[in-house]
Structure 1
Amino acid sequence: MATERQIYLVDDEAAVRRSISFMLRTAGFAIESFESGEAFLRAAPGLPMGCVLLDIRMTGMDGLQVQAAMRERGLALPVIIITGHGDVGLAVRAMKAGAVDFIEKPFEKARLLESLEIACKHHGEAAEVHQMAERARVLLNVLTARERDVLDGLVDGQPNKAIAYALGISPRTVEIHRANLMLKLEAHSLSDALRIAFMARMIGTGAPPSTE
């Protein structure tokens, strides 16, 4: 990085805090770590602007509770949720609550840096954020109507079987549509696909109906 960017790491595992802190410092970030959500919230009002790396499962307040407390207190810092226990429900809840991204431990350095770049853009110029939302809209426009239906189900936190039942198709067909939409969205994980869907909704998809 050309200049230091401030990162706040909130994780109750000391080993995780040490490894992530070292990784980010060598990449040019300034990092301050906290062993609990409560400790971070106590310090947050006096902290400079930055991005929050927030573990989802901690003793005391969990990541979603910390995220809600930040919103209630008007702490407008971009949040990336990190977890070793990721699932669709948590991803949807975190991103509906405003998280920029959702990544699972252990993650590669390149994946984390990519998420931080996205978070910085979210917190940067409005034009950059709009450009990202436009790209997400363009990606969604290549999906068929059925693929969009499946993606809507994933955004609502539904498992494949529930999506299949709602659409009147087989779970296997849902899996095929899910694989196809992931490929078209250039998504490497479910959180990638969810991020694209939520980003597009910032400006409205404006997508015309597609055909299968």
Structure 2
Amino acid sequence: MPPEASICYVIDDEAAVRRSLAMLLGSVGYAVETFAGGDAFLERAHHDLPFGCVLLDVRMPGTDGVAVQQELVARGLRHPVVVITAHGDVPLAVRMMKAGACDVLQKPFSGDILLRAAAAALALRDEAEEAQAAKQRLAALSPREAEVLRGLVSGRQNKIIALDLGISPRTVEIHRANLMAKLRARSLSEVVCVALAGGIRPNGGAPGGPDAGPPGGYIHGSR
């Protein structure tokens, strides 16, 4: 079941599609708002738009799905977008994935696939909030504490970190205790979890750097 007050915004110019998706999503507990096109949705999509999954058709009269997604980004709205596309629109769907859409559903798709995509999209809010909280904690670290943290995340022992940084093992222990307190971590495993959530990688890479993997996402269709 979706979390309480989870919302899905269905934007499609076909009334039958809007009705069927609204019935399916509503049957499992989602609140659903439907829109006959991109222009109608953008009239609703202001800064106070409640967080929800945007199920967005690509090809629509007037403002199409690509333009809607671009406008959401321009307005600073971080609502996850699931693209709905016909076979011939796959290149456009791929373009939207590269622009930040979290999934693509190729018509015809099953109800189960749609529900899984919506649930995964809405879960991104929790991940984003966790990442933001972790980054705020990491920002409190001193440069030396951050260096010690990268060593810990890489699995190095205190004495190896000390050699790498040219300081004593005792100093490493002090920095380790300080950074654990600042990160509000009670164990090394919690330290690593906060570091990874905040974008620190075992080899010291940063999000979007050479160590970052490719963005996720698949094009789904019914089988």
Measured against the shorter chain, the TM-score band is 0.5 to 0.7
**Are residue 40 (structure 1) and residue 21 (structure 2) matched?**
no
Instruction: Pick from 92, 95, 112 the counterpart of residue 94 of structure 2.
Output: 92
Determine the structure 1 residue equivalent to 2:64.
62
Q: Give the TM-score taking structure 1 as reference length.
A: 0.58
Amino acid at match of 1:204: A
Correspondence for 2:135: none
Residue 177 of structure 2: aligned partner: none
Kindly state the Cα deviation for residue 118 of structure 1 after the two structures are TM-superposed. 1.5
Match of 2:125 among 123, 126, 129: 123
Aligned-CA RMSD value: 2.5
Equivalences for residues 122-161 of structure 1 within 5 A: 122-126=124-128
Secondary structure in 1 matching 2:126: coil
Unaligned runs of 5+ in 2: 132-206, 215-223
> What is the CA-CA distance between 1:3 and the residue it aligns to?
2.6
Aligned residues: 137
Asked if 1 retains the 8 angstrom alpha-carbon contact of 2:85 and 2:93, the reply is: no
Superposed, which structure 2 residues align to 1:14-25 within 5 Å?
14-25=15-26
1:82 offset after TM fit, Å? 0.4
Paired residue for 1:170? none
Partner secondary structure for residue 107 of structure 1: coil
Specify which of 58, 75, 82 is matched with residue 80 of structure 1: 82
Q: Residue 102 of structure 1: CA displacement?
A: 0.4
Find the aligned partners of 2:130 and 2:117 in 1 and give their Cα distance: 15
Unaligned stretches of 5+ in structure 1? Answer: 130-199, 207-212
**Contact 1:23/1:109 (CA < 8 Å) preserved in 2?**
yes
Give the partner amino acid of 2:213. T
Aligned to 2:7: 6
SS at 1:31's partner residue? strand
The 3 A distance-change label for structure 1 pair 127 and 40 is: closer
Give me the whole-angstrom Cα distance separating, in 2, the residues matched to 1:97 and 1:57: 17
Residue 61 of structure 2 aligns to a residue whose secondary structure is coil
Instruction: Please give the alpha-carbon distance, in whole angstroms, between the structure 2 residues aligned to 1:123 and 1:93.
Output: 23
Cα deviation for residue 88 of structure 1 reads 4.1
**Bigger CA radius of gyration:** 2
C-alpha distance in 2 between matches for 1:11 and 1:84: 12
Percent identical: 49
- Normalised by the length of structure 2, the TM-score is 0.56
CA pair 24-91 structure 1, distance change in 2 beyond 3 A: same
Structure 1 CA distance for aligned equivalents of residues 29 and 5 of structure 2: 6
